[in-house]
A and B are shown apart, each in its own frame.
Chain A
Amino acid sequence: MGRAGGEDHLTVPSATLLGQSVLSGVFIGALYGLLGLGLSLSWGMLRQVNLAHFALAFLGAYVTFQLAAVAKVDPFVTLAITAPAFFGLGMALHWFFLRFSVTLLNTLLVTFGITSIFEAGIQWYWTADFHRMESAYAAVRWKLGPLFLSLTDLVTLGFALALALGTWAVLRFTDLGKAIRATTEDAPIAAAFGVNEKLLGYLVSGLAAAVAAVAGLCLALNHTLAPVQIYAWMGVVFAAVMMGGLGRPIGPLVAGIVIGVSEAITMAVTNPTWAPLVSFSLLIAILLFRPARFS
């Protein structure tokens, strides 16, 4: 994202450029997957479509940026503050939804409203200008044959893989995971078998928000920040979630990487500004040719 210029006609890129594109596509896809993980969990398990997840991730990114730039805190250390704080925010949001018994579609509207408030708050404090976090990590890069690898990209991929696989393993192999899956299938029945579904709901909601804090860190490490960008990520990440499957930790990551690589190749072959069309086209194609995926 963000490379300007280019020509309108198709160009055949060199093998090196293509390789670098695919690599950058994998890394951006990892971030899509990381953002999608929390969404997929709260949508699939709590029946909440949480648009505010993006606002939360950006808030995390800005807080990381602020602490690193002003207080000179190491970006990774900021997670110790943002992750627990966001866990609390996630629980508060879940409490709000329970308290007012908000329906699925209305969670979308309410979190849309929350996103507007967060966006306005971010713009008020940090202005509408672009910000870029300066950190020592950004300079660490390796040359791998003709291709470049940067530390911050690898960190994003590492976080995305670790959290997706970890969540998958917990859901698959532990009693806690079994209880969460049972609650997803049929909450009242699970409760009748002694599952504390209320507590689980708070736990899942808190964890999803804490993952947003991690995604925020990765955003701050790799990308320039501006309040309007909150909305720009929504379409792509939701496409990854819907393609990857609701309530599945690994699906959005795989789908995210597919989208990321497709976007990167599109940018290399055509004009970079066409990239936003890729995820949408993929989603429409799935709706047209594999509608059973959604029923």
Chain B
Amino acid sequence: MKTALAVGGIVLCAVPFVGLPAFYESFLYLLLSAIVLATSWNLLSGYSGYFSFGHGAFFGVGVYTTAAHAGQLGWNFLWTLPLAALTATVLGVALGAVVFRVRALRGELFALLTLAITFVMSTIALNAVDGGPGIMMNVDMPKLAPTASGVLYLLILAAAALTLWTAYAMYHSRFGTGLFAIHDDEDVAEVMGVPTYRFKLAAFAISCALAGLAGGIHAVFVSYVTVAETFSIALAVNVVLMSALGGTRHWLGPAVGAVAITLLLYAFTSGQAAVIGRALTGLILIVVIVAMPAGILGEILKRFRTKQAPARPVVRDFVSANAKQESGEPLLVVRGVAKAFKGVQALGGVDLEVRRGEILGLVGPNGSGKSTLINVVSGHYAVDGGSIRFEGEELVGMPAHRIARAGIARTYQIPRPFPQMTVLQNVALPPMFGQVVMDRASAEEEAWRWLAFTGLEAKAHRLPSDLNLHERKFLELARALASRPKLLFLDEVLSGLTPVEMDGALRLIRAIRGQGATIVFVEHVMRAVMELTDRVVVLTYGKTIASGAPQEVMRDPQVVGAYLGAAHA
């Protein structure tokens, strides 16, 4: 594999020196340029699912940065290339800093804003740089190859190598894993410890930088830069199409699509045929989106993967993560926490204390605010007032991913696995973003351990949609445990399970307690609450009305009243 790569690299580098007709260099240039643009687009849009329709704008900003500095001001062409990348990055980061903070409609908003930025940039380029007639590029070429087209070919070859390497490295890193989690379920990703805002911004910055670099090189390639040719929507369509066709969930997918579409468009270059080519790209886009969502490469890999026997490493002895905890002292202290939704007071000043090493039962009728409390503590919702201290540190105002990193994990009442990740990948995610940051290999080893613990080993390479409800609940559990939390919120893990499955789940929870984790157990199944918990807190209408030993609390007339209504004696 490595030798093949090396030979291929040497052959590609040798192209300008063997005296081929310039046509081949130009054609290869266009092919490589398409690979750079499609692959760089995919770094944000394919990995994290934020589709940008503005890749043409960032490319165009690169073109105009080089055109203005090398063409008009006479700077050294090579020096303008980092500047082109930087300018595109600054623009992308500025846009991202605004739009990535929005919580609703974020994908659509991003797509439409990036669509608009193309026109904004063309307006600025027209008014502030170009002046109307366009810019003639008379630049001194660095003497890297015998001909000017050879030099441009080598530059874009280097850019393509850099882009593919970036895509590969990101794909296999924590960064890439976090982006794929954002793609599948951004809110859950954040609660599992992925710094979503920073990751999106970083991916966008890298994506823009590479597009800007390609633009800078292209300015010299076209030799005469005009606004109409540079800021075209066609580029955005083609880039989206190439990536979707090749496969957005693989680092190499966009490159495959780029080659296919470039060859196709080459067949339709002249005159009226260009119109047919555009219609064809539109048609292919529709067909691919509807019929082949995984793309060419995705479909091939799918075939390949099903034949592959699932690898299962030897799981080492189970080591308890949290050394036997000193029990008794308060771990989590909630004081006067309030949260309202459009006037409905979900939490009206909740006071709660969770002591280290205990299982605290949190009960209350439906709508009493139990799930809201979990959402507030895990940082998903911002509180309206009050304080939440975990190991003495204030959690209010802290982003959700930092709360996860502090050692708090949760399960969801209705399981929310990352749908396009395998069971193993789902469970391996939290350890990569937990208290101790792990690399992918050790995170997967950790994941295997928790799959064994929950009995899901056999399903490790399946997708969550292949699991039944009971297995999905256990997947939730394994995923929450994999980060080795100090404090674990279990949100109705038993609901919807059969009595037999419930017994299994209870055994599991007891085993978790055996390892010394602190658990807040939200449940309606009273048998389980009485059996498992050390203390019980009762919530109604967003207020705590009782707390103490399970037997006593359940006899409290106020609690009986909340559940069954007041007695009329």
* Closest CB in chain A relative to B411 CB, distance in Å: 25
Q: How far is the CA of A112 from the CA of B240 in the complex (A)?
A: 10
Q: Across the interface, do A295 and B103 meet the contact criterion of CB distance under 8 Å? A: yes
Interface of chain A, helix or strand or loop or mixed? helix
Q: Across the interface, do B107 and A124 meet the contact criterion of CB distance under 8 Å? A: no
Given contacts A119-B278, A235-B119, A283-B116, contact A105 B285 (CB under 8 A): no
Q: Which of B98, B108, B285 contacts A112 (CB 8 A)?
A: B285
* Closest CB in chain B relative to A1 CB, distance in Å: 12
Q: How far is the CA of A121 from the CA of B278 in the complex (A)?
A: 10
Given contacts A106-B289, A284-B98, A295-B103, contact A276 B282 (CB under 8 A): no
Residue B276 CB within 8 A of the other chain: yes
Residue A203 CB within 8 A of the other chain: no
Q: Which of A69-77, A188-196, A286-294 contacts B (4 or more CB under 8 A)?
A: A286-294
Residue B104 CB within 8 A of the other chain: yes
Residue B105 CB within 8 A of the other chain: yes
Residue A104 CB within 8 A of the other chain: yes
Give 1 or 0 for each of B94-127: 1 = CB within 8 Å of chain A CB.
0000110111110111011101110110111011
Task: Give every chain B residue within 8 A of A295 (Cβ-Cβ).
Answer: 102-104
Interface size on A, residues (CB 8 A): 45
Q: Across the interface, do A113 and B51 meet the contact criterion of CB distance under 8 Å? A: no
Task: Give every chain B residue within 8 A of A106 (Cβ-Cβ).
Answer: 289-290
Task: Give every chain B residue within 8 A of A104 (Cβ-Cβ).
Answer: 107-108
Task: Give every chain B residue within 8 A of A234 (Cβ-Cβ).
Answer: 112, 115-116
Given contacts A116-B281, A235-B119, contact A105 B111 (CB under 8 A): yes
Complex: chain A residue closest to B228, CB-CB: A228
Complex: chain B residue closest to A108, CB-CB: B111
Give 1 or 0 for each of A74-110: 1 = CB within 8 Å of chain B CB.
0000000000000000000000000010101110111
Interface size on B, residues (CB 8 A): 43
Complex: chain A residue closest to B283, CB-CB: A117
Complex: chain A residue closest to B103, CB-CB: A295
Residue A27 CB within 8 A of the other chain: no
Q: Across the interface, do A105 and B51 meet the contact criterion of CB distance under 8 Å? A: yes
Complex: chain A residue closest to B284, CB-CB: A113
Q: Across the interface, do B272 and A124 meet the contact criterion of CB distance under 8 Å? A: yes
* Closest CB in chain B relative to A24 CB, distance in Å: 19
Residue A277 CB within 8 A of the other chain: yes
Q: Which of A102, A113, A232, A274 contacts B127 (CB 8 A)?
A: A274
Q: Across the interface, do B290 and A287 meet the contact criterion of CB distance under 8 Å? A: no
Q: Across the interface, do B98 and A110 meet the contact criterion of CB distance under 8 Å? A: no
Residue B233 CB within 8 A of the other chain: yes
Complex: chain B residue closest to A287, CB-CB: B98
Q: How far is the CA of A43 from the CA of B53 in the complex (A)?
A: 18
Q: How far is the CA of A273 from the CA of B126 in the complex (A)?
A: 8
Give 1 or 0 for each of B436-472: 1 = CB within 8 Å of chain A CB.
0000000000000000000000000000000000000
Task: Give every chain A residue within 8 A of B520 (Cβ-Cβ).
Answer: none
Residue A280 CB within 8 A of the other chain: yes
Q: Across the interface, do A120 and B285 meet the contact criterion of CB distance under 8 Å? A: no
Give 1 or 0 for each of B267-281: 1 = CB within 8 Å of chain A CB.
000001001101101
Q: How far is the CA of A273 from the CA of B128 in the complex (A)?
A: 11
Q: Across the interface, do B120 and A277 meet the contact criterion of CB distance under 8 Å? A: yes
Residue A115 CB within 8 A of the other chain: yes
Task: Give every chain A residue within 8 A of B290 (Cβ-Cβ).
Answer: 100, 102, 106, 110
Q: How far is the CA of A232 from the CA of B227 in the complex (A)?
A: 14
Complex: chain A residue closest to B104, CB-CB: A295
Q: Across the interface, do A124 and B282 meet the contact criterion of CB distance under 8 Å? A: no
Task: Give every chain A residue within 8 A of B545 (Cβ-Cβ).
Answer: none
Q: How far is the CA of A271 from the CA of B126 in the complex (A)?
A: 11
Q: Across the interface, do A123 and B275 meet the contact criterion of CB distance under 8 Å? A: yes
8 Å CB interface, A215-236 against B: 231-232, 234-235
Given contacts A109-B51, A274-B127, contact A116 B104 (CB under 8 A): no
Q: How far is the CA of A49 from the CA of B113 in the complex (A)?
A: 13
* Closest CB in chain A relative to B56 CB, distance in Å: 11
Give 1 or 0 for each of B227-256: 1 = CB within 8 Å of chain A CB.
000000100010010001000000000000
Q: Across the interface, do A242 and B279 meet the contact criterion of CB distance under 8 Å? A: no
Q: Which of B109, B116, B126, B240 has the most CB of A within 10 A?
A: B116
Task: Give every chain A residue within 8 A of B99 (Cβ-Cβ).
Answer: 287
Residue A182 CB within 8 A of the other chain: no
Q: Across the interface, do A274 and B123 meet the contact criterion of CB distance under 8 Å? A: yes
Residue B71 CB within 8 A of the other chain: no
Q: Across the interface, do B282 and A117 meet the contact criterion of CB distance under 8 Å? A: yes
Q: Across the interface, do A108 and B108 meet the contact criterion of CB distance under 8 Å? A: yes
Complex: chain B residue closest to A275, CB-CB: B123
Q: How far is the CA of A124 from the CA of B109 in the complex (A)?
A: 32
* Closest CB in chain A relative to B343 CB, distance in Å: 15
Q: How far is the CA of A112 from the CA of B112 in the complex (A)?
A: 11
Q: How far is the CA of A121 from the CA of B53 in the complex (A)?
A: 22
* Closest CB in chain A relative to B96 CB, distance in Å: 12
* Closest CB in chain A relative to B375 CB, distance in Å: 15
* Closest CB in chain B relative to A76 CB, distance in Å: 31
Q: How far is the CA of A127 from the CA of B290 in the complex (A)?
A: 30
Give 7 closest A-B pairs by Cβ, nearest first: A116-B282, A235-B116, A120-B279, A113-B285, A113-B286, A113-B282, A117-B282
Residues of A within 8 A of B (CB): 8, 43, 49, 100, 102, 104-106, 108-110, 112-117, 119-121, 123-124, 231-232, 234-235, 238-239, 242, 246, 271, 273-277, 279-280, 283-284, 287-288, 291, 294-295
